[in-house]
Amino acid sequence: MSGLTHLQRLEAESIHIMREVAAEAENPVMMYSIGKDSSVMLRLAMKAFAPGKPPFPMMHVNTTWKFHDMIAFRDQQMAELGLKLISYTNPEGLANNINPFDHGSAYTDIMKTQALKQALDKYGFDAAFGGARRDEEKSRAKERIFSFRSANHVWDPKSQRPELWRLYNARKNKGESIRVFPISNWTELDIWQYIYLENIPIVPLYFSAPRPVVERDGNLIMVDDERMRLHPGEKPEIRNVRFRTLGCYPLSGAVESDAATLPDIIQEMLLTTTSERQGRAIDHDSAASMEKKKREGYF
Amino acid sequence: MAHVSDLIETDIEQYLQSHQYKSLLRFITCGSVDDGKSTLIGRLLYESKMIFEDQLAALEADSKKMGTQGQEIDFALLVDGLAAEREQGITIDVAYRFFSTDRRKFIVADTPGHEQYTRNMITGASTADLAVILIDARKGVLVQSRRHSYLVSLIGIKQVVLAVNKMDLVGYSQEKYDAIVAEYLEFAKQIGLENITPIPMSAFKGDNITDNSANMPWYTGQPLMPHLESVPIATENPDAPFRMPVQWVNRPNLDFRGFSGVITAGTVKVGDRLKALPSGKESSVASIVLDGPIPQATSGQSVTITLTDEIDVSRGDILSAAGSPPGVSDQFEATIVWMNDTALLPHRPYLLKIGARTVSANVSAIKHKVNVNTLEHLAAKSLELNEIGICNISLEQMIAFDPYAENKDTGGFILIDRMTNETVGAGLIHFALRRAQNIHWQAVDVDRNARATQKSQKPAVLWFTGLSGAGKSTIANLVEKKLYAINRHTYLLDGDNVRHGLNRDLGFTDVDRVENIRRVGEVSKLMADAGLLVLTAFISPFRAERQMVRDLMGPGEFLEVYVETPLNVAESRDVKGLYKKARKGEIKNFTGIDSPYEAPEKPDIRVDTTTMSAEQAADHIVKVLEERGMLTGDHA
């Protein structure tokens, strides 16, 4: 009988995946989005190549609208671990002041999807680790761990390669690339439990604190800097809030909470009644919206 | 999400502690199209309280819009993911689902039941500890149930639940249930399937899922969920001899040289004697590293091992217990499951990946294929999509391996198409074949260079490829004349002189075309070895075969000459009247008409017959040969 716990089995699988990519890809990169899933992925990468460093850089696609705490945390982590970080922003998007207030879903496309494709092309990365999990969303549940993209970064769910045993086929033709999801089989609870067990640092925004927010369309939006456009009548008020997912601050809904420790957060997560991605505006469009975005090159 | 455990509310830290030590069970569900797989998984998610309120609300809305269960909740909608599948109402790909109870975490592979998706079932089954085989109580054991069971047995899943579903639709009849179970167990015996737990249930109504159903008091066994929570997990094999395929050589600095990989069998501790395969070199374990040093590690863990001696170990090698190492060979018998629309052809070169090693391989013989419905053995010249065959495999180099039955990770492999890079097949090694004979090349003093230099040339194969009627033979003939005129030594192989003699026994099926080209390639190689400039004129429609010949030759010795002519031009020429016959259906498998032509992507020489005359094309080719120095000897 095997004495391995579920977390040990998941950890071993993720590490195995990372080493395969490091060995077979010519120029891999790890997408680092600063959230809790990225934190776990980063820890796994450190373990996979210990006592050495991961043989690939981290990359953050920076929309310029991330929470300030996230950027500070990112820089501190990279310095502490001695890792190389590439921060990329879509220059045209920046020049045209593409922002979440005026541009809606075009904003996500230009500052995230297009930016990601540009960055991968610019540096010639042929494999990119992402922290997506299969339990997040229906189309993710069917995506392979090694997910191929055409030279135009397009995902074709109908022609996915079979993945058997621990064998991953990382071969590709010139111009094609792979998105690799080493934590595919982790659930949200697994992530939290691992963070707790391994004492992994996470962005303070996950913990409750008094923060200035406005209530908008049923969401609590944090006023993270002076760029936040207030609607007539809106007045920031200080409430005890925290975030269950992190992204661009004008698009991330906070929840009112007093959970200030990891066990508190996990307890709240386990008792809560709405699923994780609801705080993210991107999924609301339609049932097939994530699949469509993914086909277009979104992570 | 209301986890059953009250500890969440009262003592979260205690809860986390207890859940840290949960085990993980991976299982697959398989059954025919309407047996209710998706409904069962949806039901398990629902019963384990893994469905959030917003999901449940969306599900209720979806059920009304597109459900097949009237006003009731259609659990199948929970798991039928991709948009295309939702429209078609069937599951077309493997989907992975997650749920956990207080005792275990579960990963479910939802695998499609339709015949054409055997490959997805094999994929889902390859990582499963247990299989749930669904049977519709109204229909009993169907052909598909047998097929799925055979695949489960083939892939070596050690635990099976026979879920006799839809009992509500047969009045919860014990008689019906007993008859189905008896018939199934009889069949299971034939295919060597063991550890079968039959459970009568209704996934739709929730009978015998979490609690014993009041509708079936005659069933005294465990309901499904408690069974899944307690069944032994037999997948990792810590008691087997130690195996670790080396994925990565970890060399961060001069003082550390470790070998990283997943332990696929056995345990290892500091001081253990290990043998590296295929080299056979031995050393002892100096340290085992996870994030820090650990004294020992067991099957299933990803670790890094350092050795006491500097022996040569690289990615793809296997570290094993010194006393019971795996076998080493370059020829095997194996079961192959074919997963691609393009058939497996004997002698076609593929890449084989096993553990962390990728080598060139071909199927030297298909012994027979298996009819998965009747288990009959059938003769086969090729394996089509979803067919399963017993084959001999021949590799370009020695690899270390175990029989699949002993170790899935060192005995299971995938085949990769060299052109498209797709994963086209899965294989399970039975045993190594004794090498028929060790053919050693006779070393001779007069070698190919000496022979070629004598002729003031470098040996080469000019491989003319193109559609029928493109002008391959015409141009090749002209090239040969021009070379002869300048005293070079040549030989022209073309369809006519080969098909009438050497390859008289071959027809025009894909299988025969591959063999035709293989033989021509081997003959060309011998002739090049004799120092000749060999010209060949064959349609040779498949890239893989042209690549095969290229691989036979030394670097720079294979020159692909693409005689480019559009199909309509070739067809309008129709020198031999063949296109006309093919269009009438009098000739089958005619390239360009009902058999594909794969144009070269990067030919060494390209001649376009719509802009060049045959004479110009031949001059161009001779010029390229001159430029490449093919028309001068080594010391000329």
pLDDT in tens, B33-49: 677 777 888 888 877 76
Residues of B in contact with A270 (CB under 8 A): 1, 3, 8, 12
pLDDT at B257: 93
Question: Looking at the annotation, which residues of B are catalytic?
Answer: 540
Q: To the nearest whole angstrom, how far is the Cα of A279 from the nearest Cα of chain B? A: 12
pLDDT on residue B442: 42
State pLDDT tens for residues B281-292.
899 999 999 988
Q: Provide the percentage of residues in chain B whose pLDDT is more than 90.
A: 41
Label residue B444 by pLDDT band (50, 70, 90): low
Tokens of B347: 């002698």
What is the dihedral sign for C-alpha B328, B331, B333, B338? positive
> Which superfamily, per CATH, for B328-432?
Translation factors (2.40.30.10)
Q: How many CB atoms lie within 10 A of CB B626?
A: 12
The whole-angstrom separation of Cα A152 and Cα B83 is: 22
Q: Kindly state the tokens that stand for B94.
A: 């493997």
What is the arithmetic mean of pLDDT over A233-254? 89
The nearest CA of chain B is from the CA of A97 a distance in Å of 34
Element (H, E) at B163: strand B159-165
Mutate to test the interface with B, among A5, A10, A13, A19 (most CBs of B within 10 A): A19
> Which amino acid is present at B184?
Y
pLDDT above 60 for A297 = yes
**Residue B228 main-chain phi, psi, to 5 deg:** -60, -30
The confidence score (pLDDT) of residue B163 equals 95
Which residues does chain B have within 8 Å of residue A173's beta carbon, measured at their own beta carbons?
420-421
| C-beta atoms of A23 and B12 within 8 A | no
Tell me which residue has tokens 């919206």.
A289
CB distance B555 to B505 below 8 Å: no
Helices marked H in B276-431: 408-411
B232 touching A, CB under 8 A?
yes
What gap in Å lies between CA B311 and CA B359, rounded to an integer? 22
Angle at B198 between CA B192 and CA B199, to 5 degrees: 160
pLDDT in tens, A247-286: 888 888 898 899 899 988 888 887 775 554 444 444 444 4
| pLDDT tops 60 at residue A48 | yes
- 8 Å CB contact of A166 and B250: no
- Answer whether B7-230 and B243-321 agree in fold: no
Q: Does B86 touch chain A (CB under 8 A)?
A: yes
Residue A109 is classified by DSSP as I
Distance from CA of A172 to the nearest CA of B (A): 6
Residue B64 near chain A (CB below 8 Å): no
> CB of B144 within 8 A of CB of B112?
no
Closest to B494 (Cα-Cα) out of B514, B523, B515 = B523
Q: Answer whether B54 touches A (CB < 8 Å).
A: yes
Q: Are A49 and A81 in contact (CB under 8 A)?
A: no
Q: Coil, strand or helix: which one is B77? A: helix
pLDDT higher than threshold 70 for residue B424: yes
The string of pLDDT tens digits covering residues B313-343 is 999 999 999 988 998 888 999 999 999 889 9
pLDDT surpassing 70 at residue B440: no
Q: Using the beta-carbon criterion (under 8 Å), do A12 and B261 form an inter-chain contact?
A: no
CB B133 within 8 A of CB B30: yes
- pLDDT range class, residue B91, cuts 50, 70, 90: very low
- Determine the pLDDT at residue A83: 94
The pLDDT assigned to B57 comes to: 66
Dist CA A213 CA A67 (whole Å): 13
- Please name the CATH architecture into which domain B448-627 falls: 3-Layer(aba) Sandwich (3.40)
Asked whether the beta carbons of residue B354 and residue A167 sit closer than 8 angstroms, the reply is yes
Cβ–Cβ under 8 Å, residues B424 and B340: yes
Of the given ranges (A157-161, B64-68, B485-489), which has the lowest mean pLDDT?
Answer: B64-68
Q: Does A72 touch chain B (CB under 8 A)?
A: no
At residue A193, the 3 state secondary structure works out as helix
pLDDT digits (tens, 9 = 90+) for B558-572: 999 999 998 888 888
Q: What is the pLDDT of residue B82?
A: 46
User: May I ask the CATH architecture of the domain B243-321?
Assistant: Beta Barrel (2.40)
| B236 at A interface, C-beta within 8 A | yes
Q: Are B99 and B44 in contact (CB under 8 A)?
A: yes
Q: Is B299 on the interface with A (CB under 8 A)?
A: yes
Contact present, A164 and B412 (Cβ < 8 Å): yes
pLDDT at B25 over 50: yes
Question: How many Cβ atoms sit within 10 Å of the Cβ of residue B369?
Answer: 22
The strand pairing partners of B268, in sequence order, are B297
How far is CA B228 from each of CA A185, B131, B235, B388, rounded to the nearest angstrom?
19, 10, 14, 30
Q: Coil, strand, or helix at residue B18?
A: helix
Buried b (16+ CB within 10 A) or exposed e, B566-578: ebeebbebeeeeb
- B135's tokens: 């049977």
- Rounded to an integer, what is the distance from CA B171 to the centroid of its chain? 44
Residue B436 has pLDDT above 50, yes or no: no
- CB–CB of B459/B529 below 8 Å? yes
Residues of chain B positioned with their CB less than 8 A from the CB of A15:
262, 302
Chain B residues with CB under 8 Å of A147 CB are none
β partners of residue B134:
B163
Confidence of residue B462 (pLDDT cuts 50, 70, 90): very high
Q: How far is B340 from B52, CA to CA, in rounded Å?
A: 39
**pLDDT tens, B233-244?**
866 677 889 999
Please give the mean pLDDT across all residues of chain B: 85
Pick the residue from chain B with its C-alpha nearest to A142: B95
Q: For chain B, give the percent of residues with pLDDT over 70.
A: 88
pLDDT in tens, A104-115: 788 888 888 889
- CA B326 to chain CA centroid, Å, is 22
> What pLDDT shows up at residue B3?
46
Q: Is A161 in the B-facing interface, judged by CB distances under 8 Å?
A: yes
When pLDDT is cut at 50, 70 and 90, the band that residue B435 belongs to is low
**Residues of chain B neighbouring A189 (CB-CB closer than 8 A):** 19, 100
**Boundaries of every domain in chain A:** 6-193, 203-284
A95 to each of A43, A89, A106, A111, B68, how far by Cα in Å?
35, 10, 15, 11, 51
Query: If you search the block for the tokens 């590293």, which residue do you land on?
Result: B289
Whether B228 has a pLDDT exceeding 70, the answer reads: yes
pLDDT for A69 equals: 92
Write the pLDDT tens digit of every residue in B180-214: 999 999 999 988 888 899 999 998 888 999 999 99
Axis crossing angle, helix B614-627 with helix B472-485, rounded to the nearest 10? 50
Q: How confident is the model at residue A216 (pLDDT cuts 50, 70, 90)?
A: confident
pLDDT at A268: 85
Confidence of residue B116 (pLDDT cuts 50, 70, 90): low
- Any bridge partners for residue A238, and if so which? A212
More confident: B435 or B636: B435
Q: Is A15 on the interface with B (CB under 8 A)?
A: yes
The answer to whether the CB atoms of B1 and A273 lie below 8 A apart is: yes
Indicate whether B379 pLDDT > 70.
Answer: yes
CB pairs under 8 A between A and B: 210
Q: Which amino acid is at B181?
A: V
Q: How many residues does chain B have?
A: 636
**Is the predicted pLDDT of residue B7 greater than 90, yes or no?**
no
In this model, does residue B115 exceed pLDDT 80?
A: no
Give the list of residues 6+ apart from residue B117 with CB closer than 8 angstroms, or none: B92, B93, B111, B386
pLDDT-based confidence at residue B122 (cuts at 50, 70, 90): confident
Most A CBs within 10 Å: which of B99, B246, B260, as the mutation test of the A interface?
B260
Distances (CA, A) of B114 to B83, B119, B544: 18, 11, 31
What architecture is domain A6-193? Answer: 3-Layer(aba) Sandwich (3.40)
What's the mean pLDDT when you consider all of chain A? 86
Give the domain ranges of chain B.
7-230, 243-321, 328-432, 448-627
Residue A229 is encoded by which pair of tokens?
Answer: 């456009």
Nearest CA to CA, how far is B27 from chain A (Å)?
A: 13
The domain defined by B7-230 carries CATH number 3.40.50.720 = no
What is the amino acid identity at position B506? L
- Helix, strand, coil share of chain A (percent; to 5): 40, 15, 40
Q: Which residues of B touch A49 (CB under 8 A)?
A: 248, 250, 252, 260
Distance from CA of A96 to the nearest CA of B (A): 34
Evaluate if residue A101 carries a pLDDT over 90.
no
Q: What is the ipTM of this complex?
A: 0.87
B61 in contact with chain A, both atoms CB, cutoff 8 A: no
